[in-house]
């Protein structure tokens, strides 16, 4: 990953062809869903995707000489963690889970294997401490969402990356529905110096505006790069290109 550019995450990938299109197009993170969802994939498919993407991965970037800096704020913590991720060879493979047993998560991490885990349910942030790869923790945004300092959002030494996504009431399944939230809420987090991923209703057509308003570290798309419920290589490329131009 280029540490100076915004991160593009293509999520809900179900086929080798879609994964290769995302990797060839410059995606930084490829998400595969292991939770109940129309985009759920099995272990064999995930392993096939991992094997297909491996030759397309960039080499990791060596870190500069370590200069110890005391981290005292959430902004410093999440900035340091995001910088560590940008030095890894991309695309990174991320498994998406939602309120599932830790044992299942750990099994998928080992067997696929996965570079990242995304916790997309109501899991406690502390669960990330038991997962051996960096964790993206979702926080579902509605009108009552708070970015106050005492929020679980800012719990350090747990998840590595904050993901903001639209909250849907009355259903256990969250995400992948193509509905946006108020991007000015995300901007309040950016104004505190905290890097984060932003999802929810993003498309090639609106992602530049979303970045301009919300100022995320990266953006996450699933349904917005699909045609007839299947990943569309042209839309994937257009999305990544527009992220780079933002």
Tell me if residue 18 falls in helix, strand or coil: helix
What integer pLDDT is reported at residue 168 of this predicted model? 60
Q: What sign does the dihedral 64-156-11-50 (CA atoms) show?
A: positive
Tokens of 61: 């970037």
Q: How far is CA 109 from CA 103, 209, 231, in A?
A: 10, 34, 24
Cβ atoms of residues 136 and 152 within 8 Å: no
Stated as kind and residue range, the H or E segment containing 201 is none
Tokens of 142: 């509605």
Helix axes 207-214, 233-245, angle to 10 degrees: 30
What integer pLDDT is reported at residue 144 of this predicted model? 77
As a whole number of angstroms, the distance between CA 126 and CA 155 comes to 8
List the chain pLDDT tens, one digit each, 246 residues.
Answer: 655 689 999 999 999 999 999 999 999 999 999 999 999 999 999 999 999 999 999 988 876 555 455 778 889 999 999 999 999 999 999 999 999 999 999 999 999 999 999 999 999 989 999 999 999 999 989 877 878 766 778 887 899 999 999 876 544 444 455 678 999 999 999 999 999 999 999 999 999 999 999 999 999 999 999 999 999 999 999 999 999 999
pTM (two decimals): 0.92
Q: Which of 192, 168, 194 minimizes the C-alpha distance to 180?
A: 168
What integer pLDDT is reported at residue 61 of this predicted model? 83
What integer pLDDT is reported at residue 85 of this predicted model? 93
Cα 34 to chain centroid, rounded? 14
Q: Which of 216, 214, 203 minimizes the C-alpha distance to 242?
A: 203
What integer pLDDT is reported at residue 169 of this predicted model? 53
Cβ atoms of residues 57 and 131 within 8 Å: no
As a whole number of angstroms, the distance between CA 208 and CA 68 comes to 36
Neighbour-count burial for 222-232, b at 16+ CB within 10 Å, e otherwise: bbbbbeeeebb
Tokens of 243: 């992220």
């Amino acid at each position: 990953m280029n540490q100076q550019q915004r991160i593009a995450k293509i999520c809900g990938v179900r086929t080798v062809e879609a994964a290769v299109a995302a990797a060839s197009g410059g995606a930084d993170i490829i998400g595969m869903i292991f939770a109940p969802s129309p985009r759920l994939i099995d272990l064999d498919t995930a392993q096939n995707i991992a094997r297909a993407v491996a030759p397309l991965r960039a080499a990791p970037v060596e870190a500069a000489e370590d200069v110890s800096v005391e981290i005292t704020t959430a902004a410093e913590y999440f900035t340091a963690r995001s910088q560590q991720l940008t030095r890894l060879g991309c695309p990174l493979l991320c498994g998406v889970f939602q309120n599932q047993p830790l044992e299942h998560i750990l099994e998928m991490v080992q067997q696929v294997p996965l570079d990242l885990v995304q916790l997309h349910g109501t899991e406690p942030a502390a669960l990330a401490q038991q997962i051996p790869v960096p964790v993206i923790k979702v926080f579902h945004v509605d009108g009552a969402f708070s970015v106050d300092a005492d929020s679980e959002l800012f719990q350090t030494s747990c998840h590595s990356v904050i993901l903001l996504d639209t909250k849907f009431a009355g259903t256990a399944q969250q995400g992948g529905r193509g509905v946006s939230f108020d991007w000015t809420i995300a901007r309040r987090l950016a104004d505190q110096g905290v890097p984060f991923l932003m999802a929810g209703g993003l498309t090639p057509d609106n992602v530049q505006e979303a970045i301009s308003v919300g100022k995320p570290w990266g953006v996450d798309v699933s349904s917005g790069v699909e045609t007839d419920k299947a990943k569309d290589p042209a839309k994937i490329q257009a999305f990544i290109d527009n992220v780079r131009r933002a």
